[in-house]
Every structure is written in C-alpha cells, then in structure tokens.
Structure 1
Amino acid sequence: MTLYGMIFSICFFLIVSFFFSPHTVDYATEAQTNEEKELPLKKLSVSAAKSDAAKTFEPAEFTAFYDKINQAMISASKSFNGDVGMTYVDLTTGKQLSVNGTQEFYSASTIKVPLAMMIADKVQAGELNWEDQLTYNEKEDYEDGTGIIINNIQPSYTVRTLQEYNITYSDNIAKNMLYRTFGDDVKAKKALYAHFLQKETEWDDAKFTSEDAAKILNILYDEKSTNPEYQTIYDYMKKTVFHERMDTPTTSGKVAHKIGSYAGFLHDIGILETEHPFILTVFTNGQTNDGISFISTITDQLWTIQQNEYPKK
C-alpha cells in the first residue's frame, strides 16, 4: 500500500469511529437541555410544584415571597384552637404550599363541587340531559340543613335546577337527588373520589384533605376556559348566597368559593381573583364558630400579600 493509501485508510477509520461511537454527543439534545435549564419561572402543574426543589428553578424574589405566604399560614394555624389543614396554590406558577395538607377532615358540603363537576361530565357524555326531570323521593332525598328546596318541595326538578341549587344554595336535597343519578350516594361518592383523587373513601364518612380540595379546584380552574359547564359551576360559586368565610369585604365579588359546615367542621375552598389568582382551601375542626372568623382572617392576609407583594416580572 502506498503512503497516500495508508493516510487515506487511517483518516477513514477515524471518521467512521467518531460517528458510530457510543459516546458521540447529540448536540441538538444538549442545546435543548441547556435552554430548558435557563428558562425563567414558568407555569407548573400542582404535581410538578411538589417535586424535588433542586430540579425546579425559582428566582430569589419568588422564594422570599412564598416564604412569606408560608409563614403567614403557619402562624395562623398555630393561633387556632383546634385542627387546621390549609393549602395555597399560585395559579400563575403552580407553586403549592400546605400546612397539615394531608390531614383528613369530614368533607361536609365541599363535596358538592366535585359532585357538580361529575354531573357536568355526565351531561357532556350524553348520560344525562339538563332538562331531564328527576323525581323527588322523600325517603332517599330529604335532608335537613342548607338549601331552598326544603321550603317548598316540588314533585320533580330538572338536572339544571338541581345543579344550580347544589352549589349556589348548598342545597342538601338537590345534592341527594343528584347522587341518585349515579345509582345512590354510595356509588356517587366512590365514583368522584376515584375520578378526581384516585383513592377510595368511607362513603358514610367522606373525608377530604386540603390538598384534595386544591387538586379538585385546580382541575376546575384549568378546564373552565374550554369547558363551559365548568365555567358555569365557577359562576355558581361566585354568586353563592353564603357571603362569609372567604367572601370578606376585601374579596367580595372576586372569589368563587364553596363552604362546608358540620358540627365543629367549618371549611371553605375557593379561587381568589387577585391580579395573580390563587387557590385557597381551609379545613377546620374547632369550637363553636371559631372556624368562620379564622378562615376570613387568613383569607384577607394571603389576599393582601398576593395582591401587594407579588414579584414583578
């Protein structure tokens, strides 16, 4: 072999080795990875917000801001004479903060929100129609407590009417009639817990955590722009007749919420419309009506921080 032939063979071997080597760098992929590492704070899902903090970029000003939110929640929870679970979600970034976020509380009427969402899903799937008439059954449907049906019970109601009453008036009879579209209340509760929370529940003692409720509200908020029936539920929550707890003089007209009350269990779950909206879910179990004023106080505190101290871009 000539000298030129040997040089050609060596060069050819080196070129082939480079392109077929297992250690060859994919520069397109590397460039994409480097760009992702340098991206500013972006919207995260709730689950992503709870991932390893080392993997999530968070500017210093947001770290200080969220620390202030967190400290307000911790301080408030310590002041309450009873049990508290609360969760905050920044709907701009997806950041979630909780105090006793996995502690279970009797759900009370907060369960009416996912019930309404599943009724909307059934209508959209063609399993129900808003104009379907549901017949009142005293044995299965009657329940004391909140609502307007109890004051003037009619033989039947449309699904649409029951849907509105269930949220706007927190109507217990409307809730029970809607439960029956699943077969009964047992099947309804099992279905909604499996669908939204991927877990089972003791149907006669249905419990939520504040993180459960935040997850449900996050779904409602994320999907209402493309799901008109979820938007309708949101609107019902805004025009509820219960102007208390998260509905304060500060937040009036700018909160979509659903209260829940049973004995010492006093809750509220809501979406607050500051410039940078946020979810707040607060569950309490204490003495008399202490939970009502507690929820109003922490709502106003977090609203003020979110509205006035949110980091500028």
Structure 2
Amino acid sequence: MTLYGMIFSICFFLIVSFFFSTHTVDYANETETSEKMSVPIKTASSSTDKKPKPKETESPELTAFYHKIEQTMTATAKNFNGDVGITYVDLTTGKQISVNGTKEFYSASTIKVPLAMMVADKVQAGGLKWDDQLTFNEKEDYEDGTGIIINDIQPTYSLRTLQEYNIIYSDNIAKNMLYDTFGGDVEAKKALYAHFFQKETDWDDAKLTSEDAAKILKILYEEKSTNQEYQKIYEYMKNTVFHERMDTPTTSGKVAHKIGSYAGFLHDIGILETEHPFILTVFTNGQTDAGIPFISTITDQLWTIQNNEYPK
C-alpha cells in the first residue's frame, strides 16, 4: 500500500468512528431524558401553586362559615313584613351571597354614591375642577328633604363642597347640582347606569338591586387605595351625620355607609371594617320605618359572625 493509500485508510477509519460512536447516542439520550423530566417537574410545580387557593377559599371551614352567613340572611329576611334584598361580599375572598339579590328597589339616596364616583372620574379626566363654581338654579336644583343647603341657599357652590354635602349630609340640592354637570338628572342617570351596570333604567323611577349596590361598593373599596378621590368618598361615608341602620353601637366608627329613604323604601349600603372586611347592602320596602331596625339587626348579626367566627 502506498503512503497516500495508508493516509486515506486512516482518515476513513477516524471519520466512521466519529459518526458511529456511542457518545453521540448518549448525548442524544441525555437531552431527550432531560426534556421529558422537565415536563412533570413544571407540572408538579404549577399544581402546587394552584392548590392553596382552593384550600383557602373552599375549605370545609370556610364553606361552613358561608353557610351560616347565608342561613342568617335567609332567616332574618323571612321575618321582615315586606320586600327585602340583601347582598354580602367577603372582601378577603370575593365570595358573594345574596337573598333576593336581583330584586329591584327604588334607589333613593343610595344612588348618590355612584354619582359621587362619576364626578370624581370626570375631574380626574379633566372635564371638571374641584374649585369650579356651580350656580344654583331653583327650578332645576331645588328639592325638599335631607341636606343643609336648603337652610341657607347660596348663589354658587364649589364642586368640592357639593361632592362632600352629597354624601355626608345626603344633600338633595347638592345631588341635583352634581347632576347638572352631566346635563341634568336624566343624562346623569343614563351615564351612571351605562357605566356601572351596562343597562338602562326608567329615569323617573331609578332602581337598584342589592347586587348592583354591592358592585359599586366593591369598585370603591378596591380602587380607593390608588384613587385619592375614591378614598375621600369612603371617608365621607364614614363621617356621615346619619348614625343609624348599619351604624349601630356595635359597628360605630367602623362602617362607611350611605342610607337611602323614600316612603317605605328604607335602605343602607356599607363597607364594614372587621378584621376581614365585608360589604353589606340591604334594600327594603315595607311599613313605615320598619326597615330601619331590620337593617340594624342584620348588620349586627353578620358583624358578629364575621368578627368572631371567620376561619383562621
């Protein structure tokens, strides 16, 4: 064999050995095995991440707790001589429980809360300023009932003053002047119902359900930490002059609420500050003043359960 032949044979042998070496197969197997193992590891990790949430929100203890909340609401509602709608929302878990939660009631002054939120949104968007002066129009704005403006009507009021009076004093004239910033009460209610509920209403008989009101308060509660004006509305609700209904000796100083009253329609919607805060909205239509003690009773009952029996 010539020198060139020997060199060719050696090169050919080295090339064949490289391509058919067992190391090549081992590398392929190692990569394949690694990929296969990574799948169950990720799946197990993902499963572990998801398990604690159902345990926290669906544990037997929490299920039993919510069952007691529902039983209490149902039993108390049966004792009311008239129509009632109640909604409870646990703000720790988001759990909502209702009794006649979709039954409609004349909203009365509970509508002043979403109105105030819409005004705050409009200021934030640049459509209004808090130091804007709004002119009182007797024909459009005057209304008997609750409030302090009626005792000493001035030609103009700042938007900030009207916003405060609307909630703290449940001032009807302040409410009507705030409606004016949307083009009047009809246009304001159209905007309000479309924005918060994606629905229309009978403008002369604006209605809400207890679940509607709970939805409003949940937005207020969840956004107030990042929305200074929502926080102010919340504080106005805590400092209201109406110490009744949800503001009981038990809950005093620990409830942000807004009452509504019109004939037999007596309501209250509030956020109660227990260790695990909750929303409660109660709408009633019954005999004169019957709704007031009823709301206080259901408030104290649910407060006691939430405060003393919430699962650890």
Aligned counterparts of 1:25 and 1:171: Cα–Cα separation in 2 = 64
Is residue 62 of structure 2 the alignment partner of residue 62 of structure 1? yes
Match of 1:212 in 2: 212
Aligned counterparts of 2:265 and 2:48: Cα–Cα separation in 1 = 48
Q: How does 1:243-282 map to 2 (within 5 A)?
A: 243-282=243-282
Match of 2:108 in 1: 108
- CA 1:38/1:135 → structure 2, altered by over 3 Å: closer, same or farther? same
TM-superposed deviation, 1:6:
11
Q: How does 1:191-202 map to 2 (within 5 A)?
A: 191-202=191-202
Q: Are the equivalent residues in 2 in contact too, given 1:147–1:172 (CA < 8 A)?
A: yes
- CA 1:174/1:31 → structure 2, altered by over 3 Å: closer, same or farther? same
TM-superposed deviation, 1:30:
2.8
Aligned-residue RMSD, C-alpha: 2.6
Name the one with the larger helix percent: 2
TM-superposed deviation, 1:136:
0.2
Q: Are the equivalent residues in 1 in contact too, given 2:87–2:280 (CA < 8 A)?
A: yes
SS in 2 for 1:182: coil
Match of 1:182 in 2: 182
Aligned counterparts of 1:37 and 1:275: Cα–Cα separation in 2 = 25
TM-superposed deviation, 1:192:
1.1
Aligned counterparts of 1:25 and 1:311: Cα–Cα separation in 2 = 38
Match of 2:147 in 1: 147
Aligned counterparts of 1:41 and 1:262: Cα–Cα separation in 2 = 43
Q: Are the equivalent residues in 2 in contact too, given 1:87–1:97 (CA < 8 A)?
A: yes
TM-superposed deviation, 1:32:
5.0
Amino acid at match of 1:209: T
Match of 2:48 in 1: 35
Identity of aligned residues (%): 76
SS in 1 for 2:52: coil
SS in 1 for 2:70: helix
SS in 2 for 1:129: coil
SS in 2 for 1:288: coil
The superposition leaves residues 36-76 of structure 1 with CA deviations (integer Å, 9 ceiling, x where unpaired) of 4412458xxxxxxxxxxxxx950111011111111000000
Q: Are the equivalent residues in 1 in contact too, given 2:57–2:93 (CA < 8 A)?
A: no
Moved beyond 6 Å, runs of 4+: 5-8
- CA 1:34/1:140 → structure 2, altered by over 3 Å: closer, same or farther? same
Aligned counterparts of 2:85 and 2:62: Cα–Cα separation in 1 = 23
Q: 5+ unaligned residues in a row in structure 2: which ranges? A: 1-15
Aligned counterparts of 2:134 and 2:80: Cα–Cα separation in 1 = 43
Match of 2:11 in 1: none
Match of 1:227 in 2: 227
Q: TM-score, length-normalised on structure 2?
A: 0.87
Q: TM-score, length-normalised on structure 1?
A: 0.87
Aligned counterparts of 1:40 and 1:158: Cα–Cα separation in 2 = 47
TM-superposed deviation, 1:33:
4.1
Give the paired residue count: 296
Q: Are the equivalent residues in 2 in contact too, given 1:41–1:93 (CA < 8 A)?
A: no
Question: Which has the larger Rg?
Answer: 2
Aligned counterparts of 1:57 and 1:264: Cα–Cα separation in 2 = 38
The superposition leaves residues 189-247 of structure 1 with CA deviations (integer Å, 9 ceiling, x where unpaired) of 11111111121111111110100000000000001111110000000000100000000
Q: 5+ unaligned residues in a row in structure 1: which ranges? A: 43-55
TM-superposed deviation, 1:110:
0.2
Amino acid at match of 1:150: I
SS in 2 for 1:257: strand
Moved more, 162-171 or 189-198: 189-198
